[in-house]
Structure 1
Amino acid sequence: MQYLILVVVFLYSSMAFPNEDGSITPVRVCQVEKAKYLFRIDLANLILAKTAPVYGDARVTPFRKETSTVSQDRCVVLLKQQQVDLLYLPPKDNLLESFDYIPFDIHAGMLGYRVFIIRENDQRRFDQVESLDDLRRFVGGFGSQWGDFKVFGLNDLPVIGAANTSVLLNMLNHERFDYFHRGLHEAWAEVEANNSKLPNLSVETGLTLRYPFQVYYWFNPSNTELKQRFETGLLLVLQDGSYHALFKEYFQKTVKRARLAERKTINIKYPLPQKSDNWVTEVNHTPFWVEPRWLD
């Protein structure tokens, strides 16, 4: 790790400074419309800012003016066609075979812990869940195009799939299924954002699902400079503490609100793709909640 950082610092100090005309290079993305993407976007912009003296000024920019929902499958096609420059998605075999990536978990393990959005009057039913077998009596809802949709089949959990979050929340509200599991940073935010139109939904109070779920930055193979820039920038923000500061800004309150130590944890299977090796081992294998420094 120290050797890599020294190499980065050497390259950083020895390259020319472009963008003298004051222009800002857009890094085009299609994943912009949801709160869950904000940390991934802000981290990308932090990386671009840290590397600006070497590579020039750049900023994450929607690939089109409209910010309506674009499906993950469509975003993958857009990256392949070079209409977007960057994706931030979980590793899947088709992505690993087609694109360049940095095998660094953007969320530092946090997305491996999930809580349920349920109908509030169902809380007593979920109070009785003690095991994976108990959970199999319920039907889940989840994004059919999302990377971890397969956890339901792998663990024999009944599921109904849909295209996006808003559809799933409405289906849950109309009793099409029993729960919608979400990341810690997503569950409360989504319930509160939809409280006026979906007042019956709440975050379940006593359970947590756990599985090894990661999110990477992805690049078109022809865009080697952007990938190199992100590798350089990630090492810089890890070394200078700005990654940790941004992480705390986004997630510290939510992690404490989740009260993970007080919840019953159900571990489920989620095998990572074989090519999904780690880039910064000590970061990827140390869940943020184990290290006190993440929450101080």
Structure 2
Amino acid sequence: MKVWLLLLWLFCPFLYAGEPIELILPASKDGSHEYYHELLISALSAQGVEVTLVTPYSHVPQKRAVRLLESQTISLFWMLETPKRNRQFTKVNVGLTNGFISKRILLVPRDDKERYAQVKNLDDFRRINTIGGFGADWFDIEVWQANKLPYIVRDGEWRALYSMLSSKGGVNYFSRGANEIWSEQKQHPYLVIEPHLLFTYKRDFVFYLSKQNAYLQPVIESALIKAKQSGLMDHLIKKYWTRHFNQLNLNQRVTIELVTP
């Protein structure tokens, strides 16, 4: 299989030049899919590959998107890389967010904005004994386990976590990527972005292809590598997220590096 993929990668410019590709992709009602869709179109188009994106669903929760990928109903999906997903799907081996998805910031109830102001390290954070909330099968669950931090898992639609946050009990915070949290807070103004802490671990989003579309791995990977080299990916990251990064004051936060399992 590896030899076949290598040969296909070597010849993919000739195989795909002028031949259109149709990809069936999920979307989200909050627009969080838009960067990934545009990155695919722009990277492939820059290499002369005509691509059409089909989005049959206006909103697909992550857990359902994984099931649709398993059943080959959608062509690919973007997720944090994990060994389990690498076994289950065909990975396009190019990070998609320059690691910003693994720079985690807390979304908290408004009353808790200054609750973490005195935290200087992981031990301080443990002593506060607050409880995080995650969606089912998130890689964050493994990270929080490895770092001995308490959490609760929300099965089904993870966006229900927004309404579950409380300063007194249950779920106290929701960990989000630096590229996600600003727009999400704007949609939920009863919550605030915790202003002091930045948690980091070593992972990034990658595209995972369904079995039916595994043959596209070489051409998509080649296009994304060139998008990194040409600055196209950086351009799109700036387009969608740089303003948010500046408002989050990433360089002024206390950085807590978490163990990556």
TM-score, normalised via structure 1 length: 0.75
1:166 to 156, 159, 169: 159
**What is the rounded CA distance, in whole Å, between the counterparts of 1:238 and 1:59 in structure 2?**
22
Call closer, same or farther: CA 1:140–1:70 in 2, change over 3 Å: closer
What amino acid is the match of 1:191? Q
* Unmatched tracts of structure 2, length 5 or more: 1-8
Q: Which moved more, 1:158-167 or 1:81-90?
A: 158-167
| Equivalent of residue 249 in structure 1, options 215, 239, 249 | 239
- Displacement of 1:225 after TM fit? 3.6
8 Å CA contact 1:148–1:213 kept in 2: the answer is no
**Separation of aligned partners in 2, 1:14 and 1:153:** 45
Q: Is the 8 A contact 2:80 2:206 kept in 1?
A: yes
Pairing 1:190–2:184 present: yes
| CA displacement, residues 172-217 of structure 1 (integer Å, 9 cap, x when unaligned) | 058522211111122221111122xxx2x11111111111121111
1:36 counterpart residue number: 32
- Superimposed CA distance per residue, residues 14-51 of structure 1 (whole angstroms, 9 cap, x where no aligned partner): 865235xxxxx530123433433321221112123224
Give the superposed CA RMSD. Answer: 2.5
Are positions 1:143 and 2:143 aligned together?
Answer: no
Equivalents in 2 of 1:110, 1:168: separation in Å? Answer: 21
CA distance in 2, matches of 1:98, 1:166: 25
Secondary structure at 2:108 match in 1:
strand
Query: Structure 1 CA distance, aligned partners of 2:214 and 2:109?
Result: 47
Contact 1:31 1:87 in 2 (8 A): no
Tell me, yes or no, if structure 1 residue 229 matches structure 2 residue 222. no
Q: CA deviation at 1:249?
A: 0.9
Matched with 1:60 is 53
Determine the C-alpha separation between the residues in 1 that align with 2:259 and 2:19. 47
Residue 220 of structure 1: aligned partner: 210
SS at match of 1:257: helix
Q: Does 2:63 match 1:69?
A: no
Distance 1:184 1:16 in 2: 36
Distance 1:13 1:173, change over 3 A: same
Counterpart position of 1:88:
78
Distance 1:9 1:80, change over 3 A: closer
Q: What amino acid is aligned across from residue 182 of structure 1 in structure 2?
A: R
Counterpart secondary structure, 1:125: coil
Paired position in structure 2 for 1:102:
92
Mean Cα deviation higher: 10-19 or 208-217:
10-19
CA distance in 1, matches of 2:30, 2:87: 27
3-state secondary structure, aligned to 1:127 = coil
Structure-2 separation of matches of 1:166 and 1:77: 17
**What is aligned with 1:203?**
193
Q: 1:157 to 1:125 in 2, by over 3 A?
A: same
For the Cα contact (< 8 Å) 2:114–2:194, is it kept in 1? no
1:277 — aligned with what? none
Q: 2:3 matched to which residue of 1?
A: none
Q: Give the deviation of 1:107 after TM superposition.
A: 0.6
Indicate if the aligned counterparts of 2:90 and 2:208 stay in contact, CA closer than 8 A.
yes
What is the percent sequence identity of the aligned residues? 24
| TM-aligned CA deviation for residue 240 of structure 1 | 2.8
Name which of structure 1's ranges 30-39 and 41-50 shifts more when overlaid on structure 2. Answer: 30-39
1:166 Cα offset (Å): 2.6
Distance 1:215 1:102 in 2: 10
How big is the shift at 1:160? 1.2
Match of 1:178 in 2: 172
Decide whether the 8 Å contact of 1:29 with 1:86 is kept in 2. yes
8 A Cα contact 1:117 1:179, kept in partner = yes
For residues 83 and 246 of structure 1, do their structure 2 counterparts lie closer, same or farther at Cα, with a shift above 3 Å needed?
same
Which residue of the partner structure matches residue 282 of structure 1? none
